[in-house]
Amino acid sequence: MLLQSVVMAQLFGGGSGAGGGSTASTLLSLVPFALIFVIFYFLVILPQQKRSKQQKALLEALKKGDKVVTASGIWGTVSNLGKDTVTLQIADSTKIRIQRDQIARLRGGDDEEKDKDKDKD
């Protein structure tokens, strides 16, 4: 019986000042969730958006002769560009056609030097 009266008092605001305190406590209980969202935004969402913009710029700037690495790890040189596809030359007489979105990155001079050093060993 006592439990029912406590619940009724909380639900219907029985007692002086109980209504104002419950609103403040409700807002305070939402603060940790807001903080978690802010931290999540800066640690996950913002870097992902930045990476996505960089990848889009890379794909738009792609041109013939660029040395690239695909998402699956294939190294090649761009020999032809289409709207949605790229033709890569991966050996002297071997060409493959892949989706443009599968280009992961451009190969730099450091990649070439590392590859030559591994071939010597």
96, 62 in Cβ contact below 8 A? no
**Average pLDDT estimate for 108-112:** 70
69, 105 in Cβ contact below 8 A? yes
Which band of pLDDT confidence, cut at 50, 70 and 90, is reported for residue 9? low
* Domain enclosing residue 83, as ranges: 63-120
Return the closest-CA partner of residue 98 out of 118, 117, 74.
74
pLDDT in tens, 40-83: 999 999 999 999 999 999 999 999 999 999 999 999 999 999 99
- Is residue 44 in some structural domain? yes
Which band of pLDDT confidence, cut at 50, 70 and 90, is reported for residue 26? confident
Which band of pLDDT confidence, cut at 50, 70 and 90, is reported for residue 18? very low
Q: Count of CB atoms within 10 A of residue 67's CB?
A: 15
If one counts the domains in the chain, the total is 2
- Is residue 73 in some structural domain? yes
Distance CA 74, CA 68 (A): 8
Both 115 and 74 in one domain: the answer is: yes
Please tell me the predicted confidence (pLDDT) of residue 24. Answer: 82
- Is residue 9 in some structural domain? no
Residues 6+ apart with CB under 8 A from 15: 9
Both 57 and 70 in one domain: the answer is: no
Residues 6+ apart with CB under 8 A from 105: 58, 68, 69
CATH assignment of the domain containing 81: 2.30.30.30
Please tell me the predicted confidence (pLDDT) of residue 42. Answer: 95
- Evaluate if residue 6 carries a pLDDT over 70: no
Which band of pLDDT confidence, cut at 50, 70 and 90, is reported for residue 119? low
